[in-house]
Amino acid sequence: MFPFDVILFDVGGVLLTNGWDRDERARAAKQFDLDLTGLEARHAEVDAAWERGAITGKEYLTHVIFNEQRSFSRGAFFSFMLSQSSLLPGGAMGILQEVAASKKCMVGVLNNEARETNEYRFREFGIREHISVALSSCYLGLRKPDAAIYHRALDILGRPAGRILFVDDREQNVAAAIAVGMKGIVFKGAGSLREELRVLGVL
């Protein structure tokens, strides 16, 4: 018997780079000659709402970047934001594809991401081709590591918690999954993940 009914992967930090984290925002500040301290403060005020889908990307950009007249367009800035995404070196995309191709269990993602960047990243890197379910914060209105998002995931999946494996690069997110009964692995690179999955009988 295969050890899991569902394997869920985080996206940023596991499959892809973090698309709009502190380092990416610092690069944007340098590229567009912005005050990084102010940008970070305004980002903190609305980031959670954007990732939960409570505000749109346009509203996010209005608050964080276009709170005053700029010499560049929204389109130019958003294009720069999207350009920060790439496959994570040493990431788990190949493992996700391998597990999905085996058809031995359901494969999905459980990630924190705003709708506009999430859908770009899914499309640009072909993630939807390999998954059966997308449990993204922007779709569920909840974020990791809040317990509610894991309970909602269990409701949607309809599988026993112990039959679900979750892979994330952040310890607090994995700990929260384990707290509701899921199995969890902290991602530290494709090599170590492959070995842990081999021991579990997944690969």
Query: What pLDDT sits at residue 61?
Result: 98
Mean pLDDT confidence for 187-198? 98
Q: Which domains does the chain have, with CATH numbers?
A: 6-17+88-200 (3.40.50.1000), 22-83 (1.10.150.240)
Query: What pLDDT sits at residue 201?
Result: 96
Query: What pLDDT sits at residue 143?
Result: 98
pLDDT tens figures, 134-178 = 999 999 999 999 999 999 999 999 999 999 999 999 999 999 999
Instruction: Give percent of the chain above pLDDT 90.
Output: 100
Over the Cα atoms of the chain, what is R_g? 18
Query: What pLDDT sits at residue 136?
Result: 98
Query: What pLDDT sits at residue 120?
Result: 98
* SS (HEC) of the chain: CCCCCEEEECCECCCECCCCCHHHHHHHHHHHCCCHHHHHHHHHHHHHHHHCCCCCHHHHHHHHCCCCCCCCCHHHHHHHHHHCCCECCCCCHHHHHHHHHHCCCEEEEEECCCHHHHHHHHHHCCHHHCCCEEEEHHHHCCCCCCHHHHHHHHHHHCCCHHHEEEEECCHHHHHHHHHCCCEEEECCCHHHHHHHHHHHCCC
**174 within 8 A of 21, measured Cβ to Cβ:** no
pLDDT tens figures, 30-57 = 999 999 999 999 999 999 999 999 999 9
Q: What is the pTM of this model?
A: 0.96
pLDDT tens figures, 63-118 = 999 999 999 999 999 999 999 999 999 999 999 999 999 999 999 999 999 999 99
Q: Dihedrals φ, ψ of 190, to 5°?
A: -65, -35
